[in-house]
């Protein structure tokens, strides 16, 4: 495994190459912070296309809101989110999240996201069905907190480039990216320029993708979206397409 300084240099290089090639990715595709939270729950163990169907069902039924989830009977909610799989569990957990929000923050996402990042992260992790990836997705994409979201694509890409061992824990990867990209925005101010053309965006701009956020949150937002692009299109589980991948040149270093 590479030494710390080399790891951080490589992480910066990965972002520099991908951002230069594809530009803004416009994550997360949603209209409201609550829609991001619902999507973060529903996307567990299923493809995003199935989540989109469930979100559309909820939207059509007028329940894609804190109030909507609070009021809808559980069995009706289960039917609406059926396409996302594990629908009973997911519907129950959405209800539990709203109960937590009501009890702790008087039903206000604004109050919840006003908490310091580390404290809110602990609270979210204590909820049923929220692991580190879901907690960090909620913090970053719904709350604009500066945390990096580690997913299976990040892990695979980093392992193949000798950045981490297969046994590396979630927190190790998160800390590696967060420290490696700590001052990235200073040397690449265009990453926070809202006028930059979305060269190879995977999503259309949306109210949440263009929401106001600090430079650090913007950097982590783009890094995650770009790594998903690599993982989906090139760094496949078997037979990775290294010859076509934008990161192919880094394998030789
Ligand atoms: S496909 Fe190859 S070059 Fe691209 S990220 Fe994966 S291992 Fe690296």
Q: Tell me, yes or no, whether 100 and 66 share the same domain.
A: yes
Same domain, 134 and 209: no
Question: Closest ligand 1 atom to the C-alpha of 247?
Answer: 3
CATH number, domain with residue 214: 1.10.1670
Q: Which residue has the tokens 């030494």?
A: 3
The two tokens of residue 229 are 């692009």
Are 229 and 164 part of one and the same domain? yes
* Domain span holding position 79: 33-142
pLDDT of 58: 98
What stretches of the chain show up as alpha helix (H) in DSSP?
A: 4-22, 33-42, 48-60, 66-71, 74-80, 87-105, 109-113, 117-125, 132-137, 152-160, 170-180, 184-187, 215-233
User: Both 157 and 237 in a single domain?
Assistant: yes
pLDDT at 27: 86
pLDDT for residue 252: 66
What are the DSSP calls for 39-53, one per residue?
A: HHHHTTTS-HHHHHH
Q: Which of 142, 170, 186 is the last residue of a domain?
A: 142
Residues 72 and 154 placed together within one structural domain of the fold: no
- More confident of the two residues 210 and 113: 113
pLDDT reading at 197 higher than 50: no
Q: How confident is the model at residue 1 (pLDDT cuts 50, 70, 90)?
A: low
Q: Which of 110, 142, 174 is the last residue of a domain?
A: 142
- Ligand 1 pocket member 153 (CB < 6 A): no
245: Cβ below 6 Å to ligand 1? Answer: yes
CATH number at residue 62: 1.10.340.30
Ligand 1 contacts CB of residue 157 (under 6 A): yes
Shared domain for 43 and 16, answered yes or no, is no
Tell me, yes or no, whether 43 and 138 share the same domain: yes
Domain boundary pick from 142, 170, 192:
142
Q: How far is the CA of 65 from the centre of ligand 1 (A)?
A: 39
Q: Are 107 and 178 found together in one domain?
A: no
Judgement on whether residues 179 and 206 belong to the same structural domain of the protein: yes
Decide: 251 in ligand 1 pocket, CB within 6 A: yes
Specify whether 19 is located in the same domain as 75: no
Q: Report whether pLDDT(130) > 70.
A: yes
Residue 246 CA to ligand 1 centre (angstroms): 8
235 within ligand 1 shell (Cβ under 6 A): yes
**H/E stretch holding 148:** none
- Chain centroid, CA 14 distance in Å: 18
Q: What is the pLDDT of residues 137-172, one digit of tens each?
A: 999 999 999 999 999 999 999 999 999 999 999 999
- Same structural domain, 243 and 162: yes
pLDDT of residue 25: 86
Report the C-alpha gap between 184 and 187 in whole angstroms: 6
Distance of CA 226 to the CA centre of its chain: 11
The answer on 87 and 9 residing in a single domain is: no
- Report percent pLDDT > 70 for the chain: 93
In the chain, what percentage of residues exceed pLDDT 90?
78
Tell me the mean pLDDT in the region 27-47.
94
Q: State the total domains in the chain.
A: 2
Token digits of residue 88:
């009973």
């Amino acid at each position: 495994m590479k030494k710390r300084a080399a790891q951080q240099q490589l992480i910066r290089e990965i972002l520099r190459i991908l951002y230069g090639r594809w530009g803004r990715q416009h994550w997360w595709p949603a209209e409201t912070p609550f829609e991001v939270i619902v999507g973060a729950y529903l996307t567990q163990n299923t493809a995003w296309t199935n989540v989109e169907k469930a979100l559309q069902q909820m939207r059509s039924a007028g329940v894609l809101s804190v109030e909507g989830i609070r009021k809808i009977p559980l069995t009706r909610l289960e039917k609406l989110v059926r396409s996302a799989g594990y629908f009973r569990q997911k519907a129950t957990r959405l209800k539990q999240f709203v109960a937590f929000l009501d009890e702790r923050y008087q039903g206000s996402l604004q109050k919840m996201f006003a908490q310091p990042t580390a404290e809110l992260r602990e609270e979210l992790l204590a909820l049923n069905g929220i692991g580190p990836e879901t907690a960090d997705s909620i913090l970053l994409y719904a709350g604009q907190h500066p945390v990096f979201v580690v997913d299976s694509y990040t892990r695979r890409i980093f392992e193949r480039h000798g950045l981490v061992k297969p046994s590396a824990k979630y927190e190790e990867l998160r800390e590696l990216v967060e420290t490696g990209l700590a001052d990235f925005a200073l040397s690449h101010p265009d990453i926070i320029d809202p006028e930059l053309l979305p060269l190879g965006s995977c999503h259309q701009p949306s109210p949440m993708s263009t929401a106001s956020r600090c430079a650090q949150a913007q950097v982590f937002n783009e890094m995650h979206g770009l790594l998903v692009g690599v993982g989906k299109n090139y760094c496949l589980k078997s037979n990775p397409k290294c010859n076509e991948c934008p990161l192919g040149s880094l394998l030789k270093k």
